[in-house]
Structure 1
Amino acid sequence: MLLSRRLIVLLLTTFGCIFICMITSNLESATIKDPMLMQVLNSELPTVSVLLSMSELKLKNKSAFHRYIKDLSDSDLNKLAENYHVTGLTSTALQRTFMACPGYFLLKHFSNAKGEIQTPKHQTCKNMSFQTSGTPVALVSWPGSGNSWVRQLLETTTGIYTGGVDCDFAYYRAGMIGEGIVSNNVIVVKSHWEPPSWNFTNKILYIVRNPFDAFVADWNREQAHSHVGIVNASYFGNNSKWDKRVKNSAYWWRVHMEQWTTEKHVTHVVKYEKLFVDLKTELQKMLDFLGHPYTEADFNCTIHSSTKQFHRNHSYRALDKYTQEQKAAVNKQLKIANIVLQKFKSEYQEQW
């Protein structure tokens, strides 16, 4: 009896494995033969609706798509780039972007070949375009420090799209169709990553914001699942998850800033709070650093039309979200960070 039970278990396990393997094989085969993907590989320009489906669904079996892209030769990748008029991207960069944003990558670049490209929802002062030359520049910040707003300001003033190392579809819907591009075709490339993860350029536009405000802003975004969302008081204070987040972020906020402002990088620091005091002067400094020409009319237009699409409408004081113990943890790192920030005249006072 015991032997027969073991035999039954063995048979069920064996047939179960075979069945699962058959399903997995069929899924992978179906994914690679997916008509949406085949349109791309056959160099046909998919419709906007097809590409939106690819990007939002992420494909049913993303790993199969990744393996397929990894196996494409440099010549195949370059052919795709040529067909969709993508210039300045290496095969490696093109591969990485395809894997991060399947389908969406092609949509945001060149659905304009069918006259279907979306114009930015934020008002711009010039016709938008990609640039064909220039020095790659990273736009770096700790999350919650105003990176999206600065991208909008630069796009509004220059008429050149900004890029990003991630693939956040919310930015495309907002009109930032350079999201996902890592090349000199965009005026800056957004990143929250640490330097060891990314060596695209050594020229850095670094945004620093009071950490008390930045941590609250990023926590609101994460917990509300929205770039402009706000959550109630129960998410802060003695909330154990918030407490852990604050104490962890305080240290890494300081390290992040120190790593990006070393002598290895050519860095211009933008203090977020100064943008509200004298936007014109701060914009001028950024454009001088980028080596991009501008006129008085450019500034006047940007200041007049400056959007707050990625700003939260709130009346709370960020400091009220912290316990005394949490404030002490942030202030400890802030005191160390100020040694570096003083060089850029961007230090912050401890807050209690």
Structure 2
Amino acid sequence: MNKQIFSFVTVCIIMGLSYPFVRKHTVMSFGGCSRAVNVNQYKIVKERDLLELINTCSKDGVNLNGGKSNYDYLKRNLKNFNCSQSLRFLSAPRSLVALASFPGSGNTWTRQLIETATGYFTGSVYTDWNFVGSNECPSRRRVFIVKTHLTSNSSTSHRDCTRIYVAHLHFACAICILRNPYSAILAEFNRENSNNARAHFDPGHWVAPKQMFTTKRWRMFVSKQVNRWKNMALYWIQKNEPTYVLVYERLLENTFLEMSRLMTFLNITIQYDSLYCLSADDNRSFKRIIPHWMTINNVYSDELREIVNKAVQTVKIGIDSKLNLNGVLNSYFLPIENSSRQMQ
């Protein structure tokens, strides 16, 4: 009899059938990644289950971390996958949350991810043209995530805020986006000095001309902006209000997991189908296509590396070791070669 049961269960597994005492242990692993993403689609995201899902898909050769390849995989394998979401304003006010970053650190992409995950518009202390939520002063409390590049907990120059006589905001907590300063400063220099801001999908456009990186202007820009990067990081990370440090490189590497953790910080529950739709928000939509010569190694001389490395070290010393950011900050250091470097 035992042999018969064993044989029947074996046949069930081979044929993809369910057997009562087999099903309980095969929800995630039985059928692999394709079955797992379907089973979880309308469930509430919990980190432990998400890690199990990522591990299950990894065994199938699927790197479930967000991005275009994930979107294509999910579109092929999910029975019902619809990311045509209608965003909305808050129906009830929430405390304001600063989305603070040095320019060039992925604030725009992060806002889009947050809007997709939550279904709510995000706002800004500026009047940004590309987000509906930026048209209103945050003090109207119809948005709660508010973009800022300022080392200030309250200032705003928003046009609508001026109209209703609001000059200051109050953030109950903050999300601080931390990105490698070498990459962020280069991105901001390109934004300010591009030769064609409307053609950023072509290599060499929406980037600074090559000759500018050997000028005093570039050296002065790095010296000034690295202090701004340092001050942004220290101001927001050291604040008394709760602050979530969102590391850009981690977000890029594992979008699903990092956004799940961010939602936990914001005390927002989301379903896996919302998380899956993050894969449609490819950060490449916001990235310049840069020419082959424009690398960090090429454009930062030893002199500039010393300046940037010193700022990274200052931030490393100034923040709480409990934040577990030492490894990230250590990865930002560039070696000093003490030799002349010419652009290739």
Task: Assess same fold via TM > 0.5.
Answer: yes
1:217 aligns with 2:214: no
Letter of the 1:153 partner, please give it: L
Structure-2 residue corresponding to 1:319: 297
What is the distance in 2 between the residues matched to 1:332 and 1:147?
A: 24
Out of 300-309 and 257-266, give the one that drifted further: 300-309
Structure-1 residue corresponding to 2:208: 231
Alpha carbons 2:125, 2:146 under 8 Å: kept: yes
1:344 aligns with 2:293: no
Deviation per residue, 1:267-294 (Å, 9 max, x gap): 0000000012111110011111112220
Out of 336-345 and 187-196, give the one that drifted further: 336-345
Alpha carbons 1:146, 1:272 under 8 Å: kept: yes
- Secondary structure, in 3 states, of the residue corresponding to 1:139? strand
Alpha carbons 2:115, 2:122 under 8 Å: kept: yes
Structure-2 residue corresponding to 1:186: 143
- Residues 125 and 159 of structure 1: CA distance in aligned 2, closer, same or farther (over 3 Å): farther
Alpha carbons 2:305, 2:334 under 8 Å: kept: yes
Letter of the 1:280 partner, please give it: F
Unmatched 5+ stretches in structure 2: 1-81, 156-168, 201-205, 336-344
Alpha carbons 1:149, 1:308 under 8 Å: kept: no
Letter of the 2:273 partner, please give it: A
Residue 196 of structure 1: CA displacement? Answer: 5.6
1:177 aligns with 2:147: no
1:128 aligns with 2:87: yes
Q: Which has the higher helix share?
A: 1
- Residues 156 and 212 of structure 1: CA distance in aligned 2, closer, same or farther (over 3 Å): same
Residue 306 of structure 1: CA displacement? Answer: 3.3
Deviation per residue, 1:104-130 (Å, 9 max, x gap): xxxxxxxxxxxxxxxxxxx95521111
What is the distance in 1 between the residues matched to 2:280 and 2:216?
A: 43
The structure 2 residue matched to 1:329, chosen from 307, 314, 322, is 307
Structure-2 residue corresponding to 1:139: 99
What is the distance in 1 between the residues matched to 2:322 and 2:190?
A: 31
1:291 aligns with 2:249: no
Q: TM-score, normalised by structure 1?
A: 0.59
- Secondary structure, in 3 states, of the residue corresponding to 1:195? coil
Structure-1 residue corresponding to 2:234: 258
What is the distance in 2 between the residues matched to 1:319 and 1:142?
A: 21
The structure 2 residue matched to 1:301, chosen from 262, 270, 277, is 277
The structure 2 residue matched to 1:274, chosen from 250, 266, 282, is 250
What is the distance in 2 between the residues matched to 1:167 and 1:205?
A: 20
What is the distance in 1 between the residues matched to 2:260 and 2:109?
A: 16
Letter of the 1:271 partner, please give it: V
Letter of the 1:326 partner, please give it: L
Alpha carbons 1:125, 1:301 under 8 Å: kept: no
Unmatched 5+ stretches in structure 1: 1-122
Letter of the 1:128 partner, please give it: L
What is the distance in 2 between the residues matched to 1:177 and 1:231?
A: 29
Alpha carbons 1:138, 1:191 under 8 Å: kept: yes
What is the distance in 1 between the residues matched to 2:107 and 2:142?
A: 19
Q: Which runs of 4+ in 1 moved over 4 A?
A: none
Structure-1 residue corresponding to 2:171: 201
Letter of the 2:240 partner, please give it: K
What is the distance in 2 between the residues matched to 1:325 and 1:300?
A: 44
Out of 311-320 and 203-212, give the one that drifted further: 311-320
What is the distance in 2 between the residues matched to 1:128 and 1:143?
A: 25
Structure-2 residue corresponding to 1:54: none
Letter of the 1:129 partner, please give it: R
Structure-2 residue corresponding to 1:81: none
Alpha carbons 1:165, 1:189 under 8 Å: kept: yes
What is the distance in 1 between the residues matched to 2:116 and 2:287?
A: 16
Residue 197 of structure 1: CA displacement? Answer: 5.3
Letter of the 2:133 partner, please give it: G
Query: Where do residues 53-132 of structure 1 align in structure 2 (5 Å cutoff)?
Result: 125-132=84-91
Alpha carbons 2:174, 2:243 under 8 Å: kept: yes
Letter of the 1:348 partner, please give it: L
Letter of the 2:101 partner, please give it: S
The structure showing larger relative contact order (alpha-carbon pairs under 8 Å, at least 6 residues apart) is 2
What is the distance in 1 between the residues matched to 2:234 and 2:88?
A: 34
What is the distance in 1 between the residues matched to 2:179 and 2:281?
A: 23
Alpha carbons 2:96, 2:173 under 8 Å: kept: yes
Residue 309 of structure 1: CA displacement? Answer: 2.3
Root-mean-square deviation over aligned CA pairs: 2.1
- Secondary structure, in 3 states, of the residue corresponding to 1:348? helix
